[in-house]
Amino acid sequence: MAESDGAVDGRVARGNETRRLVLRRTVDIASVEGLEALSIGRIATELKLSKSGVFALFGSKEELQLATVRAASLVYEEKVVRPALATPPGVARLWDLCGTWLEYSRERVFPGGCFFYGVLAEYDAREGAVHDALARAQRSWVALVERCAREAREAGELHADTDVAQLAFELIALMEMANAHSVMHDESGGYRRARVGIAARLASAVTDEELAPNPA
């Protein structure tokens, strides 16, 4: 006898909910301990799930790691990217993008600070699918910061000779230093220093001082 559509739909829904439950846990673990700390057995034990059930959803440790990277990317998009892109293109958008990133780190959306800052260091010298997925995520983030800087330059809000790749590199370095300092020392002063540094860097590049952001 064929299964009813309702039974199939119910099983799919339960599987999707279990997948979400697992990934909510794995992104937190990986942000603190790294992606290598993930295993199907560990997750099954911690969440009181059957190991075979978790294996059926992910199939391997590598796929669990890749799914975790994808899940973290969705959170990053929601917390950092979308709010900033609601601001019209220009210096204000670039400033907001830096601000949403600093808040994402400061608020510990992931308990280990920025998810990608930690796991990129774990995989930077490795090869394989997980390294490649992380490299794509990093390139996408850098490209977004560069795009926002380029938009500001094209809008006439940054000097025409502004090197957007260099500017993006410097802004990201300030953000990542704030994250690293805060996670290591469990204090938030680095975020203030990063905001002051980012504001000063943008102020040096704007065509009108009224466009310079206020770090307060």
Taking the C-alpha atoms of residue 25 and residue 13, their distance in angstroms, rounded to an integer, is: 19
What average pLDDT does range 82-95 have in this prediction?
Answer: 98
Q: Which residues pair with 206 in a beta bridge?
A: 158
Predicted pLDDT at 72? 98
**Count of CB atoms situated within 10 Å of the CB of 33:** 14
**Residue 92's pLDDT band (boundaries 50, 70, 90)?**
very high
* Superfamily grouping for domain 5-209: Tetracycline Repressor, domain 2 (1.10.357.10)
Query: What is residue 2's DSSP assignment?
Result: P
Number of residues that this document lists for the chain: 216
Task: Give the whole-number percent of the chain exceeding pLDDT 90.
Answer: 92
CA torsion through residues 68, 74, 80, 81, sign:
positive
Identify the pLDDT of residue 9.
67
Which pairs with CB-CB distance under 8 Å and at least 24 residues apart come from 209-214? Answer: 211/90, 211/91, 211/92, 211/157, 212/91, 213/91, 213/92, 213/95
pLDDT tens across 24-43, in order?
A: 999 999 999 999 999 999 99
How many Cα atoms within 13 Å fall on the side-chain side of residue 41? 2
Assess whether pLDDT exceeds 80 at residue 152.
yes
Average predicted confidence (pLDDT) for the chain? 95
Mean pLDDT score, 93-97: 98
Q: Is the pLDDT of residue 168 over 50?
A: yes
Those residues whose C-beta lies under 8 Å from the C-beta of residue 32, and which sit 6 or more positions away, are 111, 112, 118
Q: Which two tokens stand for residue 59?
A: 């199939």
Give the least confident one: 3-7, 44-48, 64-68, 111-115.
Answer: 3-7
The yes-or-no verdict on residue 201 having pLDDT over 50 is yes
pLDDT of 1: 44
Q: Is the pLDDT of residue 75 over 70?
A: yes
For the chain, which residues make up each domain, given as ranges?
5-209
Confidence of residue 4 (pLDDT cuts 50, 70, 90): low
pTM as predicted: 0.92
Q: Over 50: is that where the pLDDT of 22 sits?
A: yes
Mean pLDDT of 126-145: 98
